[in-house]
């Protein structure tokens, strides 16, 4: 795999290979089996937005693989003062072995990759969050034993996480439903692609979307960069909460996933969150294992 820019670029087999490797690395990690496959390698991590999980899991992942990671705040790089992406990509390619970027515009990540001679990994843009959804798929498979034919339901803002869940879920052979209000819809390119694949329903009715779902997913109603419109978003999304009534529509053994950070009382009640905290924190942990798999796929093949 050359880069990880968006899940749309991966085949089903590539996704399954990453999940299998993630499972193996998790097993080795839990059993104190060292795996210094990236000794001497350096990952640069450019952050143009805040992060807890992505930053720490990539940094720890590189250390566990025998390499190192450099945290690069976009504010402190010349890119923050207008140095072109094309030049930054070509310069960093001379020092580093791999680059992870978290930023706003997907085009910036794509352009970085076009000018970079080393692998580029998308650590979240306004359009998608591929690393998160690989961890979500790993967690679902771990808890349910398979992905094929399970029903995944996403409720709330049609944001970066929603886009990647729709693409990743369908590529993994799941049935996917999404309930998002008008004006907070996932990207049209994604929903049109999903409709062409079949096994996809987009509605504004939460209960219809959640009916018999095996997995209920949600995310913050106000993503990074949307803070100025937060009152409007909170108003539009208030019918889309994951709560007891909604969970009654889902399968009785349904899992709940949330990429975190979670805002209790908004997209999810504190009660549902705590009842499913085991799954949600497994999901957070699996960021570490699955991203190590992505790093190995990008750097070793
Ligand atoms: N879920 C996720 O990407 O978390 P961070 O924003 O903390 O990295
Ligand atoms: N949709 C959220 C995800 C955070 C991990 C955001 O973009 O802020």
Q: Where do the structural domains in the chain lie, given as residue ranges? A: 7-129+287-300, 132-283
* CA torsion angle 136 139 141 142 (round to 10): 170
Quickly state the pLDDT bin for 6 (edges 50, 70, 90): very high
In order of 21, 57, 60, 281, 291, the CA distances from 27 in angstroms are 10, 17, 16, 17, 14
Quickly state the pLDDT bin for 144 (edges 50, 70, 90): very high
Centre of ligand 2 from the C-alpha of residue 37, in Å: 31
**Full-model pTM:** 0.98
Average pLDDT value for residue range 226-254:
96
Residue with CA nearest ligand 1 atom 7 = 52
Average pLDDT value for residue range 61-67:
98
Q: Indicate if ligand 2 lies below 6 Å from the C-beta of 219.
A: yes
| Residue-wise burial string across 180-217, b where 16 or more C-beta atoms lie within 10 A, e elsewhere | bbeebbbbeebbeebeeeeebbbeeebeebbeebbbbb
The pLDDT tens digits for 162-187 are 999 999 999 999 999 999 999 899 99
Whether residue 132 lies in the annotated active site: yes
Q: Indicate if ligand 2 lies below 6 Å from the C-beta of 249.
A: no
Measured from the alpha carbon of residue 45, the closest ligand is 1
End-to-end CA distance of the chain: 7
Q: CATH fold of 132-283, please?
A: Rossmann fold (3.40.50)
Q: Does position 301 have pLDDT exceeding 80, yes or no? A: no
Average pLDDT value for residue range 234-245:
96
The pLDDT tens digits for 24-41 are 999 999 999 999 999 999
Whether residue 64 lies in the annotated active site: no
7-129+287-300 and 132-283 have identical folds: yes
- How many Å apart are CA 84 and CA 114, to the nearest integer? 13
Task: Report the percent of the chain where pLDDT is more than 70.
Answer: 100
| CATH number, domain 7-129+287-300, options 3.40.50.1110, 3.20.20.80, 3.40.50.1370, 3.20.20.70 | 3.40.50.1370
Predicted pLDDT of residue 261: 98
């Amino acid at each position: 795999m050359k880069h990880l820019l968006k899940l749309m670029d991966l085949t089903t087999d590539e996704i399954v290979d990453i999940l299998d490797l993630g499972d193996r690395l998790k097993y080795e990690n839990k059993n104190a089996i060292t795996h210094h496959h990236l000794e001497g390698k350096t990952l640069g991590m450019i952050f143009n937005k805040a992060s807890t999980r992505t930053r720490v899991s990539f940094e720890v992942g590189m250390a566990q693989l025998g390499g190192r990671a450099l945290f690069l705040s976009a504010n402190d790089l010349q890119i923050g003062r207008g140095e072109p992406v094309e030049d930054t990509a070509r310069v960093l390619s001379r020092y580093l072995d791999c680059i992870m970027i978290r930023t706003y515009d997907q085009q910036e990540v794509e352009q970085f990759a076009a000018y970079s001679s080393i692998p580029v990994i998308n650590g979240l843009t306004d359009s998608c969050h591929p690393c998160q959804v690989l961890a979500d798929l790993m967690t679902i498979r771990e808890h349910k034993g398979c992905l094929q034919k399970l029903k995944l339901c996403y409720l709330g803002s049609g944001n970066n996480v929603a886009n990647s869940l729709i693409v990743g879920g369908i590529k993994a052979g799941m049935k996917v439903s999404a309930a998002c209000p008008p004006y907070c819809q996932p990207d049209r390119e994604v929903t049109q692609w999903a409709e062409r694949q079949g096994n996809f329903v987009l509605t504004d009715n939460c209960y219809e979307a959640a009916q018999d779902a095996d997995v209920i997913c949600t995310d913050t109603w106000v993503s990074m960069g949307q803070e100025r419109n937060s009152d409007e978003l909170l108003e539009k999304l208030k019918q889309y909460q994951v709560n007891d009534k909604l969970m009654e529509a889902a399968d009785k053994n349904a899992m709940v996933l949330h990429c975190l950070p979670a805002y209790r009382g908004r997209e999810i009640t504190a009660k549902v969150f705590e009842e499913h905290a085991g799954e949600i924190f497994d999901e957070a942990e699996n960021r570490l294992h699955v991203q190590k798999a992505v790093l190995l796929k990008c750097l070793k093949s």
